[in-house]
Amino acid sequence: MDSVGSFFDPHNPELRHHQGTLREFYEITSTLSSEDCPPLNAISLPVHPRTLYIPCQFGSLASHEVAQSRVPPQYETTFGVSGVKSKMEWCLIGGRGAVSPFHMDSDGHGTALIVLKGGKYWILPTRLTDTDTLSSFESLGPGWNPYYVNEGENVNRFRFEAVHLQKGDML
Amino acid sequence: MPGTDQSRIFVASHSEFTKLHSREIQRILRERIILVHGCLLDYDYDWDLESFGRLYDVDRKTTVHGTV
């Protein structure tokens, strides 16, 4: 943390707000070498103060977010699948106030998450038809907007449920 | 679930979840998402996330999802 700056919170002198680069932040949260690291993604970097006029309607909102998805080395050979490792391995970092637009993790492959610290507000869509085909970006149809999914004809196409995940919750 | 009023989210406590057979879990996951609460976390990652106020993408080697 030596290379990461910090400043006082005027409303709470005991609190320090640290500032740093993604690289610095990643280095303090991962022991992996750069060669072994999955691709690093950042969600909506809150460089400037902003109002959440329209936080993404459908996606997630986390207090802070550091996530990493890994696949065991023997996974592809054990289950007789190939090409999933590149889709299922990723890193995600977001600072305070960062939001995720509507998205699909791991290109539609299954993902499990456990909240280790803080909280995460997660919204899940379900298509209002007999069969749920929300398994890929292509299944959403042309012209969909990840921030405004529930507009136009989509109003009658989806139902949404929200969960507030807290420490110790697994989804 | 598609075409019904039933919640897409199947909620279970950690103790309940551990009693489920793997095939039962697989059956549920075919149509629903499982939320398990009260998982025991026995490792403290010691991440100072509450106070990490701002991040800067100075090396521009990341993919940014969403907008500021």
Number of structural domains (chain A) is 2
Q: Is the pLDDT of residue A27 over 80?
A: no
CA B63 to chain centre: 22
pLDDT-based confidence at residue B37 (cuts at 50, 70, 90): very high
Helix or strand or coil: residue A88?
helix
Rounded to an integer, what distance in angstroms lies between the CA atom of residue B50 and that of residue B1? Answer: 36
Q: Domain boundaries in chain B? A: 7-40
The predicted pLDDT at position B44 comes to 65
Q: Do A163 and B39 touch (CB under 8 A)?
A: no
The predicted pLDDT at position B18 comes to 93
Establish if B25 touches chain A: CB-CB under 8 angstroms: no
Report if residue A171 sits inside a domain.
no
Tell me which of A27 and A134 has the higher pLDDT. Answer: A27
Token digits of residue A43: 């969600």
- The single residue listed with the structure tokens 């800067």 is B56
The predicted pLDDT at position A121 comes to 80
Token digits of residue A52: 């959440």
Residues A4 and A86 in one domain: no
Question: Model pTM?
Answer: 0.68
Rounded to an integer, what distance in angstroms lies between the CA atom of residue B55 and that of residue A23? Answer: 9
Residues A59 and A126 in one domain: yes
Neighbours of B45 (CB within 10 A): 10
Token digits of residue B17: 């979840």
- In chain B, which residues have their Cβ closer than 8 Å to the Cβ of A94? 55
- In chain A, which residues have their Cβ closer than 8 Å to the Cβ of B50? 63-64, 118
- Burial code (b: 16+ CB inside 10 Å, e: under 16) for A100-114 equals bbbeebeeeeeeeee
The predicted pLDDT at position B45 comes to 61
Tell me which of A60 and A43 has the higher pLDDT. Answer: A43
Give the residue numbers spanning the domain of A124.
39-166
Rounded to an integer, what distance in angstroms lies between the CA atom of residue A148 and that of residue A135? Answer: 19
Tell me which of A112 and B52 has the higher pLDDT. Answer: A112
Residues A82 and A107 in one domain: yes
Rounded to an integer, what distance in angstroms lies between the CA atom of residue A66 and that of residue A162? Answer: 21
Residues A19 and A60 in one domain: no
Report if residue A55 sits inside a domain.
yes
Q: Mean pLDDT across the stretch A78-100?
A: 77
